[in-house]
Amino acid sequence: MEDVLKIVTDTSLTYQQQLLALAHVAENMDHTIPLSDEYVQAMKDNIICTLGEGNLPYRPRYIIPDYSILMEKGSKFLELNPPKDLWEACNSLLIMYRHVPSITSFPVYLGDLDKLLEPFVQQVSREEAKKCLGLFLLNIDRTLTDSFVHADIGPKDTLTGRLLLELTEEMQLAIPNLSLKYDPELTSPEFAELCAKCMMKTAKPSFANHRMFESEWGKDYAIASCYNGLTLGGGGFTLHRLRLYEMSLKANSVDQFLNETLPYYEKLMADAMNDRIKFIVEQSAFFKSNFLATEGFVKVENFTGMFGMVGLAECCNHLLGIEDPAKGFGNNKEADELGVRIVKQMQDFVNNYTADYCDACDHHFRLHAQVGLDSDGREDSPGCRIPIGVEPPMFEHIEHSTLFHKYFPTGIGDIFNFEETWEKTPGALVDIIKGALANGMRYFSGYLANNDVVRVTGYLVKKSELAKLDAHQQSLNQVSVNGKGARDNSDALSRRLERVNESAR
């Protein structure tokens, strides 16, 4: 009851945020799914983390509906007919979004908006289309108040895509998050430059390596939440993470860590994830009665489990006895090589572990480089990222990223903080991104240092909203709380500033 009282008396939370927090308290009161003593101890030691999923899951963590079914057939449960024009299409999507759950209770995927809406945009004038799409985006920002809400565009240039970019710049909204599925053979140079220009001004869209994702997931894939690659019409059952730095404290040597410590905790987490997935599929009501499943918007065989990790940099530095982060991971060949060994070992584990119901990945989990929590400190850099404050120049940073990105089909990314001169050279930035992705980078994000909208670890917040929380006022975007914690606990907004003259080669 102490937790409940704290929530209902917190003046910085909106009613909706209080409601969700109270629901999480209730989820954690149940213990139907058995947990081994070893697993419970690993959680107490902060080595295994369930990322706020609660003890009793009643829906998959990330749900990726195939919204094209709504456009083609409507929805019997929602009593929606197939839309006939742009206004009806946007209205139908907004209605459906309110009924798509996730770990945040908001949809983490809004669809490939350009593909969904382009046929309807082509039916009206540019002015009418822009007005309709502007109201559509405004509604999303004000009602789906969570920056893990995510939409995709590309790889092809469309009028809808251009209008969404134009509105994104004009409206300066933190929601939704946005990715461009980028392929230099499919994405026109002009459209790529528009995306780069928009990214500089609004921290979105990020550039996703379309060829890499498509080779792993097939043509029907989505980027959701922060940067999570998943199957369209499916999603992620669950996401747990290993905190590698805390785990490294249990090992006396690199060999012990790789041969004993890491395998022990991997097995503990994988078994718990498997039990969780079995409960979601076999006992919870979601796949039996939720309209998303009964009407075919999602199918159980299109889901997988996301095997997450965090803190690789600090883990490697500790195991090698490196005390100065500036001389460690990201700036030290031995530490980088150890990082690759650790990630390869994790890949081998998930590839050999049989996971129930994960048909989308041949009954295996897939690796995920988790972006971190607001409560994480400087001992847990997101995923495989270099600790903030010791990043090398951008080209060296990109080369480092390419060592790791190929191992994480369900998501990994790096973020670059640019000074304002870059806004004038979007073509040069696209050339850099094109080269980075061609050499194995999966996901490239950036923003201008002087923006109000900035990217924290994978999600977006407004600096002006963080100022409200600093003054103990409410912020409509519930992720602002995460952003404030990441700023205060791990300096997430203090990334190396990329200057044009320093990055030129």
Give the pLDDT score at 502.
Answer: 60
Q: What is the share, in percent, of the chain residues with pLDDT greater than 90? A: 79
Which range is least confidently modeled, 29-43, 266-280, 414-428, 456-470? 456-470
Give the pLDDT score at 431.
Answer: 97
Which range is least confidently modeled, 124-133, 137-146, 170-179, 451-460? 451-460
Give the pLDDT score at 167.
Answer: 98
Give the pLDDT score at 504.
Answer: 46
Average pLDDT over residues 456-461: 83
Q: What is the pTM of this model?
A: 0.94
Average pLDDT over residues 125-142: 97
- Give the separation between CA 409 and CA 112, rounded to whole angstroms: 19
| pLDDT for residue 325 is more than 50 | yes
Residues 6+ apart with CB under 8 A from 204: 168, 177, 178, 179, 198, 453, 455, 460
| pLDDT tier at 457, thresholds 50, 70, 90 | confident
Give the pLDDT score at 458.
Answer: 80
Residues forming a β-bridge with 236: 62, 304
Mean pLDDT of the chain: 94
What's CA 250's distance to the chain center, in Å? Answer: 29
- Give the separation between CA 294 and CA 288, rounded to whole angstroms: 7
| pLDDT tier at 148, thresholds 50, 70, 90 | very high
| pLDDT tier at 246, thresholds 50, 70, 90 | very high
431 membership: H or E segment, kind and range: helix 426-438
Residues 6+ apart with CB under 8 A from 20: 104, 105, 478
Give the pLDDT score at 501.
Answer: 65
CA dihedral 113, 209, 423, 199 (to 10 degrees): 30
Given a contact cutoff of 8 angstroms between Cβ atoms, the answer to whether 142 and 476 are in contact is yes
Most confident of 194-208, 446-460, 489-503: 194-208
| pLDDT for residue 505 is more than 70 | no
| pLDDT for residue 270 is more than 50 | yes
| pLDDT tier at 264, thresholds 50, 70, 90 | very high
Give the pLDDT score at 453.
Answer: 86
Average pLDDT over residues 295-308: 98
| pLDDT tier at 142, thresholds 50, 70, 90 | very high
Domain ranges for the chain, please list them.
1-30, 34-58+239-296+307-387, 62-224
Q: What is the pLDDT of residues 350-403, one digit of tens each?
A: 999 999 999 989 999 999 999 988 777 677 999 999 999 999 999 999 999 999
- Widest distance between CA atoms in the chain: 67
| pLDDT for residue 336 is more than 50 | yes
Q: Bigger pLDDT: 34 or 153?
A: 153
- Give the separation between CA 242 and CA 314, rounded to whole angstroms: 13
Q: Bigger pLDDT: 194 or 484?
A: 194
- Which alpha helices (H) appear in 203-261, and where do they start and end? 210-217, 244-248, 254-256
Average pLDDT over residues 322-334: 97
Give the 3-state secondary structure of 183-203: CCCCCCHHHHHHHHHHHHHHC
